[in-house]
Copies of this chain bind each other. A is one copy, B any other.
């Protein structure tokens, strides 16, 4: 193991304006790409060494894709073609807006412009028990862990003596019917129909239940009522038990208690219910609202013109979006690109331009041949047509992502054949007892810090 005092950030001094970006998600990479050149020094911090195409993470969890199909090393994205760009795999512990510095586990760094692009983290609404026993789906290790959990449940269901235990292993409760929950439920339903009966000939899959629990009065609440209605119908026809206006009360790893009083015995509860901004210590409390950082139309944090927040962690209230933009990739991408332009304007002593969100529509996939789309101009599509659009857009993105035509063809092949080559149980994965605790040394070698 390596003590932190042996490490330093090791960023070269510079006369150029230094832009420090916290987070290599959609916002961070789109900003950094457009700052390339001779005008800025760009420093990016992330605690993962890769950028992920998270809309497809559910595919990793349901054994459709391996992580490398949806994630790309940040150092590969920002290679030697990027001048004066510095990536550091390190956790940011705080910011000091007065001193204009960022603190990390291994030292601090002065910034001229600070961009917070940290995205979101799961929100358990204070329910520690649910946090302890449920499976979130926000990171690659979590997706791999969930995949192993799903497969182990079937392994164990095939060898249990006790019918109640078997039923509990075959009950899968997904909390939250946003895109992740819906896509996961659909994917599980397809596995139940096409893949699992062949793998587990001794199991009766008519007993496998998929519950989708949602607090609001419709599935896919961020989308249009038309999309919700279609989606509800599709999920119904796939045999998914939907419970609307329902909240989870407690979960001890065995029994899900709903606030309605109903209980579901289940070994697997997947938490896709809510997220809040992944805030950074030191951001003034008055600039935070409902877990997100309030920004003006230039993505600036109030009172700190040299601090910006973009993407999911930011809340830019506009007339059309009084509660901020939807928590999807597009606002983050567009804000990243826009901020790059504004930073260049500042450099030339020009006035910044306000951000305007171009709504390109929303999509969700429920299964093979079935998706829903809300397109600009109040157009709502469903079924095969929406699915073709979903497919086209995701293929388009993945190609732009890294010209990985071959991984892509692999993915298309699996997509069309229902083949799930990656149903490997790769353990161990250990949930940290105290996820919030700061580590005191870097993990090197076989021991955990």
Contacts and interface: CB of A to CB of B under 8 A. Distances in A.
Nearest to A152: B444
Interface in A114-150: 132-135, 140-141, 144-145, 149
A78 B140 CA distance: 29
A407 B404 contact: no
Nearest to A145: B446
A443 B427 contact: yes
A72 B421 CA distance: 7
A199 interface: yes
Nearest to A407: B410
Interface in A151-166: 151-153, 155-156, 158-162, 165
Contacts of A90: 159
A155 B445 contact: no
A200 interface: yes
A326 interface: no
A67 B1 CA distance: 27
A159 B7 contact: yes
Interface in A393-443: 402, 404, 406-407, 409-410, 413, 421-432, 442-443
A424 B253 contact: no
Given A406-B410, A413-B406, A421-B407, A2 B267 contact: yes
A432 B448 CA distance: 11
* A1, A406, A430: residue with the most chain B Cβ atoms closer than 10 Å: A406
Interface string A215-254: 0000000000000000000000000000000000000010
Given A141-B428, A202-B10, A444 B160 contact: no
A413 B202 CA distance: 40
* A140, A159, A199, A200: residue with the most chain B Cβ atoms closer than 10 Å: A159
A430 B267 CA distance: 23
B144 A426 contact: yes
14 contacts: A6-B161, A50-B424, A76-B423, A79-B199, A80-B201, A141-B428, A152-B442, A152-B443, A253-B445, A268-B445, A406-B406, A407-B410, A428-B430, A428-B443
